[in-house]
Structure 1
C-alpha cells in the first residue's frame, strides 16, 4: 500500500504522539509499504534515508511556551497537489491541528479515504491552561474532525466509550507496544545514579514525561516530599522538558531535573531508578507507563489508561484510584516500606512488557488502514457516511 501519514509532531521531538508515529512509520516501511510522511520542517531533524519513504516538510511555527515544538501551518493547496501526485491509498492524520485539518480537507476533496488517531484530550487541557470555557467548543471541533474520517483509532477502551457518548463515530481500538530491546533493566547505570547522589542501596523515584501543567507533576513531587519524612535518603528525578520546568526547579531545588533525554540515554535513566511515579490524570494512554514496566521499575500510577491496561496492583506494579491523592501518597509509602517485594514486582513488570510487542500493534494498524482503503465517502463533510468499495 501507499500510505500518507500526516502529523504535527515527530522525532526529534520527544512525546508520546511523536514516538508512536515514528514506530508506526518504521513498522510500515519494514513491512514493505510506501509511506509519505508529512510534518513541520525542523532544521535539527535527522536525515531519514529509505527508498520507500517520501517526505513533505511544511512550514511550522513554534508553540508558545513550548521550546522545541512546532505547529504546522495550513497548507491545503500544497497537500492537495502532493496527494494528487503521490496517489496514496489512504491518508492517516495523526493530529488535529492546522496541518491535520488541511490534510483532511485535501484528501476528502480528492476522495481519498482518511483515517485518524485520537491521541490527546485537548478538550480537557483547556482547563489546565486557563481556558475551561473553551472545552466544549474544542470537543465540537474534535467530533467534527474525527467524524469526517473513515475511522479513528483510540488507545484505550474507556476513552472509546467516553468519545462515543460525545458523538464521535467509527472508533477502533489500537493499543501500544513496548520496545523491550531499548527499554531494559540491563541499562541500569551506577555512574548515573551517583550523579543523582544515590548509591546502590538508595531508593530513587522517577517521573518521565513533558514538564507541562496537565501532567500533574507537583502531585508526584508532593508524594516524594511526604515519603521523605520516613525515608530521608529518598531521591527524586524528573526526566523531560516543557513550559513548567523552570517553575518546578525553582520550587523543588532538591529534585534532580535531568531535562530531555533520548534513546539509550533515556533508557538508562529509566533503568537506573527504582520506582516510577506517574500522577497524570489526563492521558489517552501514557506510553511512559509501559516503558517503565519494560525497564523493570516498580510502577505507581492511577487506575486508568495504560495503568489499567497493564498493571495488576500488587503483582507487577501498583494502582491508585483515579484522582485519589491520598491513595497515591500511601501507595508510595507502602512501596518504600516493602523493598523485599521489589525484585518480584520488577520481574513481573518486565514480563508484562514482553507480552505486548510493537509488532502486534503495527499489524493491527495496517489491517485498519487496509480496511479503510476499501471505503469511499457517500456524502460530504456534514453527516459523512461511508460504504465499502
Structure 2
C-alpha cells in the first residue's frame, strides 16, 4: 500500500480550540500526511475563536463545555451530518486521539465496517483524579481505558517509558512509538535575550528557574510551589519565571507572589522566553512525553523533572538534568540548588540536552507513524484479523 491510498479519519476531542502539545502534534501529523499524498478528515469540536488555525478539513462534532473546566469541550455524539460525511469519506484508517464518548463510538463504527483503528495516547488520564481528591477512581478509569484501547488494532505512545507502562497495564498487545519533534528554528539557544529579561526586571546575574505549560493543577503546580518555598527558606537566591496560561493562574500567582508571569507565549516569542530561563523545573507526572522538556533541552537548559513517563525517556539523569521521584520536594530543591549555585554544571547539562534534542525532528517521527498506518492497513487488507476486543 502507498501513502496516496490512505484515507485517514482522525477523531480528536480538541484539535485546535485550546492550544496544547497534543493537538499541535496532531496538526503537524495531518500536514505531513497530506504532503505525502494521504487524504485526511478531522472530526472534532469547533469553536468561533480557536487557539490557532487548524491544518486540514475539520468536521464539527457537537459538544458542551466540560464540567468544571469550561475551556475544554466534551464531544457528545457523531451527528447525522458527521456520520454522512464519514460514510462519504470512506476511510481505510481511523485514528482516535482521546478516549471520550465520540471516540468510543468511532471505534465501534470502524469495527463494524472492517476498518482498522489506531489510538494515540497523549496524557495519563488515569492520574487526573488524584489532583481533585478522587484518587479512589483511578482503578475504574484505568479499566475504562483498557476496554477502549484493546478494541484498537494498535496504540501509540510518545515515549518508550510510556509504552512500557501501557504494556504493563495490558492496554493493548501492539504498542508502538509515535514520538515528538521539536522546531529547531524556534527552540534554539540563540533565542536567549538579556534585553527581554531586563525588561521583566531580571538582573543579568540572576538565575531563573522556569515553568512552562498550561496552568492547571495536574501539571504539579503544588509541588512546584512547595519546592520554591524550600529554596527561599534556605536563602538560595533565584528568580521564578512562569510562562503559560490556564484556570489555575490566580491560585499560582497567590501562591508565588514574587514570580514573574508572562502569560501564554507562542512561536518565536515562546522560544525567546524559554531560552531566557536558566533551568526548567517540570514536576508533572501526567505527560506521556513532555514536549516542554524537549523544548527546554533544545534551547540549552538543564531540566529538573519528575521521574515519570516522558521525562525519563528524555532527560539523562546527572548529565542533561536530574530526575527526581514524583512529589519529592526536598530532592527537587536539592537539585535546583545545585544548578543555581554552579554555573559550569548548568552550562554542561544544557549543552548535553541541546545535543540530545538534535535527533528529534517532526518529519522523522511522523514518518514512523505513517509507516505503522501502512503496516496495519496492509495486514488487514491481506486478511489479517481485527483485535477481539476487551478480553483479548
- Name the stretch that deviates more: 254-263 or 358-367: 254-263
1:349: which partner in 2? 353
Deviation, structure 1 residue 270: 0.7
Alignment of 1:351-370 (within 5 A): 351-370=355-374
Tell me what 1:72 maps to. Answer: 75
Alignment deviations for residues 332-389 of structure 1 (CA, whole Å, 9 cap, x no partner): 011011012333322222111112212221111101111222344847874587xxxx
Distance in 1 of aligned mates of 2:17 and 2:201? 29
Is 1:97 aligned to residue 96 of structure 2?
A: no
Other structure's SS at 2:310 match: helix
In structure 2, the partner of 1:179 is 183
- For residues 1-389 of structure 1, the aligned pairs below 5 Å read 1-45=6-50, 46-48=52-54, 53-75=56-78, 77-169=80-172, 170-229=174-233, 233-376=237-380, 378=385, 382-383=389-390
Question: 1:306: how far off?
Answer: 2.9
Separation (CA, whole Å) in 2 of partners of 1:30 and 1:147: 31
Tell me how large the CA RMSD over aligned residues is: 2.3
The separation in 2 between residues aligned to 1:63 and 1:124, in whole angstroms, is 18
Residue 131 of structure 1: CA displacement? Answer: 2.1
Partner of 2:3: none
TM-score normalised by structure 2 residue count: 0.89
CA distance in structure 2 between the aligned counterparts of 1:79 and 1:147, rounded to whole angstroms: 25
**CA displacement at 1:290 relative to structure 2:** 0.2
Deviations 1:124-153 (A, max 9, x none): 211222222322221121111111111010
Instruction: Say if 2:93 and 2:116, in contact at 8 Å, map to a contact too.
Output: yes
CA distance in structure 2 between the partners assigned to 1:232 and 1:332 by the alignment: 10
Are the structure 2 counterparts of residues 166 and 312 from structure 1 closer, same or farther at C-alpha, using a change threshold of 3 Å?
Answer: closer
Paired residues in the alignment total 382
**Segment of structure 1 superposing worse, 373-382 or 320-329:** 373-382
CA 1:380 to 1:352, structure 2 compared with 1: closer, same or farther past 3 Å? closer
3-state SS of paired residue (1:55): strand
Residues 67-103 of structure 1: CA distance to partner in whole angstroms, max 9, x if unpaired?
5322222116444322211112201001111232232
Q: TM-score, normalised by structure 1?
A: 0.90
Gaps of 5+ in 1: none
Contact 1:378–1:384 (Cα < 8 Å) also in 2: no
Partners of 1:64 and 1:93 in 2: CA distance = 22
1:272 positional shift: 1.2
In structure 2, distance between residues paired with 1:65 and 1:258: 25
Give the direction of change, closer, same or farther, for the CA distance of 1:381–1:258 in structure 2 (3 Å limit). Answer: farther
Q: Are residues 103 and 191 of structure 1, via their aligned partners in 2, closer, same or farther at CA, if it must alter by over 3 Å?
A: farther
- Deviation per residue, 1:229-283 (Å, 9 max, x gap): 5666511112222232211212221112222222222222111111100111232
CA contact (8 A) 2:60 2:82 kept: no
Q: Secondary structure at the match of 1:88?
A: coil
